[in-house]
Structure 1
Amino acid sequence: MSAASILRRNLHLLSLFSLLRLTISASDELQTLLSIKTSLQSPNADVFNSWKPTNPPCKFAGITCNSDGSVNSIDLSNQKHTGTVPFDSICQLPSLETLALGKNSFSGPISEDLKNCVRLKYLDIGNNFFSGSVPDLSSLSRLEYLYLNNSGFSGKFPWNSFSNMTGLIVLSLGDNNQFDRALFPDVVVGLTKLNWLYLANCSIEGKIPPEIGNLTELVNLELSDNYISGKIPPEISKLSKLWQLELYNNGLTGKFPVGFGNLTSLEKFDASRNYLEGDLSELRTLNKLVSLHLYKNEFFGEVPVAFGDFEKLVDLSLYANKLTGPLPERLGSVSDFNFIDASENFLTGRIPPEMCNQGKMMELMLLQNKLSGEIPATYANCTSLTRFRLSNNSLSGEVPSGIWGLPKVDLIDIALNQFEGQITSDIGNAKSLTEIFVNNNHLSGELPPEISKATGLIAIDLSDNQFSGNIPATIGELRLLNRLHLHNNMFSGPIPDTIGNCVAFNDINMAHNSLSGDIPVSIGSLLVLNSLNLSENALSGQIPVTLSSLRLSLLDLSDNQLTGPIPQSLSYEAYNGSFAGNNGLCSQNIKSFRRCSPDSGGSKELRLVILCVALGAIVLLLSVLCMMLFLKKSQKDEERSLKEDSWDVKSFHVLSFTEDEILDSIKQENLIGKGGSGNVYRVVLSNGDELAVKHIWNSDSGGRKKSRSTAPMLKSCSGKSREFDAEVQTLSSIRHVNVVKLYCSITSEDSSLLVYEYLPNGSLWDWLHTCRKMGLDWETRYKIAVGAAKGLEYLHHSCERLVIHRDVKSSNILLDEFLKPRIADFGLAKIVQANTSKDSTHVIAGTHGYIAPEYGYTYKVNEKSDVYSFGVVLMELVTGKRPIEPEYGENRDIVNWASNNLKSKESVLSMVDSTIQEAYREEAIKMLRIAILCTARLPALRPTMRSVVQMLEEAEPCRFVGIIVSKDGASEKDEVEDSYKG
């Protein structure tokens, strides 16, 4: 055989062997991918449609192969997958270079097998719910992109793993605040190829090392929300490619270092909430800045004139510093300026006139400065404005008429200035206006009736001006109006009877005017009215008996010309002085007034009240008897119907029980609670495990069995119970240690069951407000607060869609055997859809005492309502008191009570629960301060749950600095309420 023939034969054999090897490899990879599929779960059934044994691996969705036909990339990111990641199988793929699993709901610890994926160049497992610590990754020396951000890890991070990853371009570890505290890792500043470094909110402390200057390729550096202290090192000026620098919320001190102005590529810079000082002159060369946030520092001196020539600057936030001098005259004149907040400084001079030149400015906030001059007329045409706040300055002149009618403005606040002129009829065009504060000026003229066209108004404060004329009757068209302050003006004529149409009224103050005529009877229909002050007017006639139906904390009708009897139900000590200066009044039991004659109406009223009380008692007694009989029958019907239905089980975890075990346990002796959306039962399984089961009926039948003939019709109208759908939708996708675990749902045509983990220690309410209270020390209360806050933080910030719980309260915070908290009862929860407004939901729900005040005047509520309710829970933890107690007074709650006790350090300390040890009382006050921030009246002033968690962690026992009480007795609460926070 010739040499050529032998060569051809060998080449043919080699090709056959290569083909056989590739075939074997493809077969192995196919089996590996199919085993990965079995380990993962997804609510989207179509995700793995192409992952079939009949398809080659390279045709699988999310799989990419190299030129040899071997799998080199898996991308299953952002697919809502759950379960544990089978790294043991994944790392068997010999050519795998890219693994993208981010933005899912994977859970459990990370297997050590991850270290076997040695060819990886790209690894993304961020935005998941893993647990435990990060394993040693030093074997992944080829990595160029590493994303572990917001992944749920805790414990000590293996920073030394990076010593082998010298090729890293992107390192993203942020939003893992459960990492153990660690000094700024020196190994990171040795990764000189880094382009993107995200270390925000991952428990880094100490100083920024000078070696940060070695990372000259950095485009993005984020170190916010850590515990970094010391000065910004001068070496940072070497990062000439830096596009974004985030240093927000640390403990940085000192001035901007010399040379900081060399960062001429910088477009986004945020160093807010630190202790930085000095002037801003180093920033005058950063002419590519788009966003500059330096609020809440100690900066002084003038705002650089050069800022007025920055062509890209659109966001500027400098509030709560010590800045002086004028703002640059040309500020915003050459850019698409969007936002300025330079409030709470000592700025002087005039308002820059051209910030809305491009017609895109949304927020103008310069309150609490020393600005002077007039409002530039240019802002009357700034139709994009949503917030206009200039209060507490020395501004003067007339307000340009167009300001009153800006179509998108939500808030006009020009209080505490020296403005003159009138509110013009343009206000009828302000269709988005919710609040107008013009108090303490020199405004005059009549209130235009066109104000009724601003139908979204919630609060009007015109007090301490020179307004005159009649109060327009059209005021009654403002159905959402909650607060009306007209006191200290010159209004005359009658109070319009249409005021009774404003059913949301909580606070009315018309004192010190020249109003005349009768007090409208319709005021008695304002059932949520809390404060009514009509003093120092010329009102006449009798006090309407209808006022007796109101639960007022303040009533002042003094110094008028009222006559006749004081209604018996208003004649008690709380209203002492409310009727003074009305010589024509009489009373049967207030000694300072003459006694009423028999025909004056007092005796008749008393008899009527007695008769109504007697009839009410009879009706109440009959209602209680009927309810007891109804509940007894309902329970029997419930147990009987469970045995008749067919059931469908949908599991969300691996189950160790059967449907029958659950159904057999739904009986009276296992009942442990009744909620707004169903009964709750304790189930003990045959293996000894315990579960909690909520039973929810699918109609408004109150637990009665629907007949077979009507059930389909009812179901077609409403489907399963709305409470059930809400709770399943929320909990089935949630994996968090501080949120109660849902094992499965069991549904039938008539009712539905939710099977949860059982929490043996009941609710926080039980421990705070029953005999268990003595066993709850401060350290335990603190841990409960932090855990519950983290659960809510997860719902608000870490879910793919925002979850608003809407019924946060201590009875919905359950405790396990170690007293670790779980957020529970999502029957009222609201997931905000991606294609709807994130700002609000139009369903009013909640529990009295925990409900945020905005529920009283608007349906527009958001996650800040949860923050308010959680603030009430914090107050319960600190004070040991219930949200509603008789000692607070009529129509008052724990929030009012706490605010009224912030007068001195002694009164603040007196609020702390007496069962808390003396050594911890100062630390409890730190939590009380957070609670006060959470329960701010305006939602915009409340912190986010992410900020609440951080503040609570900073209040950890032994790290507390007490609440500040100034020399004049004003508490930090006063500063909080008076300051602007967004």
Structure 2
Amino acid sequence: MGSRILVVLLVVSVQILVLTGQPGNQDYAALIALKNQLQNTPPNWVGSDPCGKSWDGIVCTNSRVTSITLSSMNLTGQLSGDILSFLELQTLDLSYNKGLTGPLPPSIGNLKKLSNLILVGCSFSGPIPDTIGSLQQLVFLSLNSNSFNGPIPPSIGNLSNLYWLDLADNKLSGTIPVSNENSPGLDMLIHTKHFHFGKNQLSGQIPSQLFSSNMALIHVLFESNNLIGNIPPTLGLVQTLEVVRLDRNLLSGPVPSNLNNLTHVSELHLSNNRLTGPVPNLTGMNVLNYVDMSNNTFELTNVPPWFSTLQSLTTLMMERTKLQGQIPVALFSSPQLQTVILSNNQLNGTLDIGSSYSSQLQLIDLQKNLISAFTRRVGGYNNELILVDNPVCQETGVTENYCISQQSNSSVEYSTPPNHCLPVPCSSNQISSPNCRCAYPYTGTLFFRAPSFSNLGNLSIFTSLQKSLMLSFQTHQLPVDSVSLSNATKNSDDYLVLNLKVFPSGQDSFNRAGISGIGFVLSNQTFKPPRNFGPFFFNGDPYGYFEGGVSTSTKKSSSTGIIIGAAVGGSVLVLLLLLAGFYAFCQKRRAERATKENNPFASWDSTKGSGDVPQLKGARCFSFEELKKFTNNFSEANDIGSGGYGKVYRGILPSGQLVAVKRAQQGSMQGGLEFKTEIELLSRVHHKNVVGLVGFCFKQGEQMLVYEYIPNGTLKESLSGKSGIRLEWIRRLRIALGAARGLQYLHDLANPPIIHRDIKSNNILLDEHLNAKVADFGLSKPMSDTGRSHVTTQVKGTMGYLDPEYYMTQQLTEKSDVYSFGVLLLELITARNPIEKGKYIVREVRQSMDKAKNLYNLHGMLDPTIGLGTQPKGLEKFVDLAFRCVEESGAARPTMSEVVKEIENIMQLAGLNPNAESASTSASYEGESKGFDHPYSNEGLFAYSAAFPPSKLEAQ
């Protein structure tokens, strides 16, 4: 009988261990299915806890998989329908794995929370499933550089949050879908900024319905397809456009006369079509850099006057466009001009380049025209000039260089020079980096689809690109020592092509987390090149030099045995430990109870959730050694902020996730019970407008909190101009709404409800999309069921934001946060400190107001960056809301739920969608950083107590 009981206990223990030892069983099963479907998955994909053990490329939240990023992993195989199990998945990036083949499973439409679907540079084929239109949260859809065929799914038109749509370089066919009463279409994507459809087999006309004046498009790239018919006049209505590529199609008819309404367009490509009618008039397109209308059948036309008026023009290409007459000398004096190609036309008369030609001018190609003479000037233009097959070169005995057949150079042997060092000889496949260190670099090719320059000999432009790349990798805490660019070439698609090498830091090769992080920065368009490079994509090469890698066969053959062995062995071990430790546990129970009175962590096993230990929801317990490693030994280079509590360090987890580690200094640490209460509280807070707690450390005399890393710093830094981010009226409205929603969540939906108690601009952080996130819960107080109306507590907060009623009564309520939020609203519109030179912002704005006048007569107090010239809609209602929030009596103030609704109404009044993203990316920010190099100021993420005496309160 005893042996039977033991067997039953063993079986039950195995089942319990397998079921309870796997956070997110459904996701674990799906990961195992994914692993069995693919070859070359990371070798650390072993064990039964992908979230707790940090499998490479896997990021979890609350024990559910939220991100899979496996770019350039040499993966091979196909995706199966099991992918539908990742119900919490937000990011899927499998880019640069040429071995990934087969169709995209229709079950991908079940991933309702997916916001980033990035499959660049793989070998997927078959039709794009129509179910992709079910992914309502999708922001990035990048399927370019594969072999997808069939039509563009009309259902993509349902993706109302879509920002980036890239289906280029596939085998897609059929017409461009637009909506009708039975079907959605791409014309519904009014918030999408990128239409990238080049290098496919699309046919039919470009529907006039595709474009409208309420679209936010900045890139329309339809090059190299089989599109026919006219360019629709509705294109001229999309005044946000910056790049237009319709070249290499079969388009016909005249160019719409309203094209010059597109005054923000910098690159215009209409070449290699069948366009007719007069050469279009581009007068007024004053930011136009690059124009190519070559190889069309326009009417015989004299050189248009606008050639000489576009002061930003770098490149003018009008080959075979039936131009006639003499070239005006003023054309060559445009200050940015680099290249003029007007060959195969009927230009005549005398060529005079003049003496005030552009200093950047490198190429003038006028071959096969009717030019009869060339005026030379002493000290004049002496760069490349081609006049072959003109009468000026047909006289006997002419030997001028410009009369000799030549081909303009479309490439340059550029390579990043060493950084003040001598290159070293390297063994095997290692390469000497710009810092003269031998390593195995990650390599690939950058393709720029519409650069605004044509002079590849200007090496300074590549230096700026190199610096921009390096800064992006450093900002994301990637282990990159240096980057190298080489072999700049213009290919047959008029793309600028550059070879990229990325060298590892502190080692001779990258690990998988490093490669995945670099790949994601490039595939997700996180890297923003200098503006003159235009839209780009990257194609990474397979990386074969991973640190500590093991063979696929070893990994595959051992994984199942490891899982089963670990489960059975672990079960036996658990039983033995239970039997052996039962007596000791009973004897020590009384002593442990006494110990917990002084140290609530004494019996805390963070992998369990019983007894008096903190009940955590997703927060991870880190060891001191782990955080020491993640922050590079808490180095000064990783120090990103400090305050009364201690310091904040930037760190990077093995998964590639960036974190901010808040480390208490000796003397400022809370008691164990308070620290336990704080992390237990924070672990329950999960909202997109609240900074998330990743984990903590309470070991070796340390108290540390690990938060998600927010790249664009505090609202305070942006309002002061320190960050270089320009906050115009629309962005401020979105930031106000985001902060209000975060605070509403704390008040109404958190369990238990939370009063923040320190709302201020230093505690509102801005992510990469300028979404506001409420931060710093060091002073927060939970509201119990019995104390829902108020909490009597010592007064704490920050001068200028503190609720006077709370100070006088010491009774803390949710309306105390509302008061602080009202001060924040006034700070948002004035960019002034709450207390500045002894003056209190609430009193100052109130005294300046005159509701009978425009903008309440606050012109002198409003921050000029808001953009007063545009008369910000809803500003008066915004001010009214702020003053309702700072009413003297808390009962007279609105709830945060009411505040949220009012801000949403104000946004709708301003013609904005309250549910749209704050900003696309950092690319849309204006201005450059002014010494801003980290997101946490001296006060960021730190709270301060303030038991203010009456004299200080009166100063408010």
TM-score (norm 1): 0.40
Rg larger for: 1
Higher relative CO (CA 8 A, sep ≥ 6), structure 1 or 2? 2
For normalisation by structure 2, the TM-score amounts to 0.41
